[in-house]
Amino acid sequence: MSLIATLARMEALREGRARPLATVRHRHLSERPMVFVPLTTAGEAGAPLGALFGTDREEPTLLVVPQPRDRDLRFAFLAQLAQGMLPYLEGYADDVDVEVRKGKDPETGEPVEVERELCRDAPQLLVPNGSGVRYVRLLGRSMRFRRTAEEAPDEPYPVPSRVPLLGRWMTHFGERALTPGSCLLVSMTDLLSRHWASGQSGLEDQHLGALLAWLDPPPGVHGSEAALRAETARDERGLLECPPAGPATDPAFDNKLLAPAITRYDAGLSGAERAVRDLVGSQLRPTWDHVWRGLDLLRELPPGDRVAARWEGDRWSYTGHRDRLRAGEPPQPKRDDAVTAAAKLVRRETDQVRLDAHEALDDPLVMAERRLAGEAFAGEVVAVEMAYSEGRSPRPRPLVSVSTHDRPHVEPGTRVFRRLAGKAQEAQVAAAEPGLVVVRLVNQMGRGRVPAEGTVPEPGDVVCLTAFEHDPRPAAPLPPPEETPWTHGGPPGEAAMGASAPDPHTAEDYL
């Protein structure tokens, strides 16, 4: 945590309510996101208990598994989930822009123009917290290798159609969520804690109810008190008034209410199913409302300038997955091959650098953190001295002196950048002493001997220079998987083929 963020948390603690960590919104928000609040059964891997989901705040769809250990009931749940979610997830697939790019003819190698479709918008899945994101991955994993009766007539336990497809979408969304700054699948706690500092620790921020209590405490109530209430207040039955935001349930709820209700359901008592349904719904609804409340708060922030550019990355990701599905590719393997793993890692690193740069450029408060860290500095131009490069056609290389309070970690020769008409103008530090940095501008000044109008700052101008690049350079290419070198085990062979084999079944499946 940066010192500025620490300070913000302390301010929040003293004031009793959250304090801003950003002046703009750094994540894309869909106009029509789908909120998904799942609950799972304690002690079971991927045995859902129920879920609330939908795009309409007033009318969520409630699905409940009255006996989570019953395979048929679980399949029915997944089928309904697929039915409810897939139209939304697939709904952006056909509205496309066509981009023309330069490419190579695959056979002749000649340069040709290649048309590529890019979906104009993409779905966005919102879950309450980080465990919700991981649960989407888990659900995806549990569904994508299942076989339907159409695919595999001999399958002893076929799943309803479309369930594997939902599994593949969830897997894709879950994987994309690991990319820094991506927005296809995001958790509300991450969104909120990115933009506001509560008066508690990051660990405690994982509790959506407590975090919201800091953001939006009841009048006259200190945030820490409101948060404590959210964490611990119990009703006369001993149940948490603000149930956990899932997917894990409150053990007291399990033991006191759910277990007896499920027992009654197992005994075939009338009204028992309804009772389980109401119970699960009662645990889900507060979280559902919280997610939407968080959304309201986020929507009050204006989006950062570069948010849309990053959302385009998500749209490409969505379009790419659409294409793989249409091409009939098999489900994502259980584990990545060497090249895919390396490619993902490198991509995520590049995206992290880009996100950090974008956020700083979009938001003075984030830039302030970088300035304090010595990675950027701002100040007033106090002198500009014209100078030129050596060589046959000298180019302008003006020396700009910036007076600053900041203490950047720069030394002569350090490359620094400033924003100029949507681009990054590069400069080199010529001298640095406390309070004054002299930089030599090296580009973006037009073609002539005289710098183009407005490309060189003037005395009195306030400038901000960063020691980080504004758009990271693309990483070096990786070989295609079939050319995986001997150092990494050679091309993935048979083993990788088996990687998408369905899971073994046992008669009783889950316990």
Output the smallest distance, CB 334 to another protein, in A: 4
| Residues 6 or more apart in contact with residue 439 via CB below 8 angstroms | 399, 400, 402, 416, 427, 428, 429, 430, 465
Where do the DSSP E strands lie in 81-161?
96-104, 111-119, 125-127
Output the smallest distance, CB 39 to another protein, in A: 12
Nearer to another protein by C-beta: 295 or 376? 376
Nearer to another protein by C-beta: 191 or 338? 338
Q: What angle do CA 464, 192, 229 make, to 5 degrees?
A: 140
Output the smallest distance, CB 387 to another protein, in A: 20
Contact (Cβ atoms closer than 8 angstroms) between residue 49 and residue 246: no
Amino acid at 469: E
C-alpha distance from residue 390 to each of 327, 384, 447 (Å): 56, 19, 15
* Pairing label, strands 185-187, 125-127: parallel
Contact (Cβ atoms closer than 8 angstroms) between residue 365 and residue 506: no
C-alpha distance from residue 5 to each of 25, 129, 180, 194, 204 (Å): 16, 21, 19, 10, 15
Per-state percent for the chain, helix, strand, coil, to nearest 5:
40, 20, 40
Question: In whole angstroms, what is the distance from residue 323 CA to residue 253 CA?
Answer: 44
* Of the candidates 334, 337, 330, 336, the residue with the CA atom closest to the CA atom of residue 484: 337
Nearer to another protein by C-beta: 92 or 377? 377
Nearer to another protein by C-beta: 322 or 371? 371
* Pairing label, strands 376-385, 462-466: antiparallel
Nearer to another protein by C-beta: 136 or 464? 464
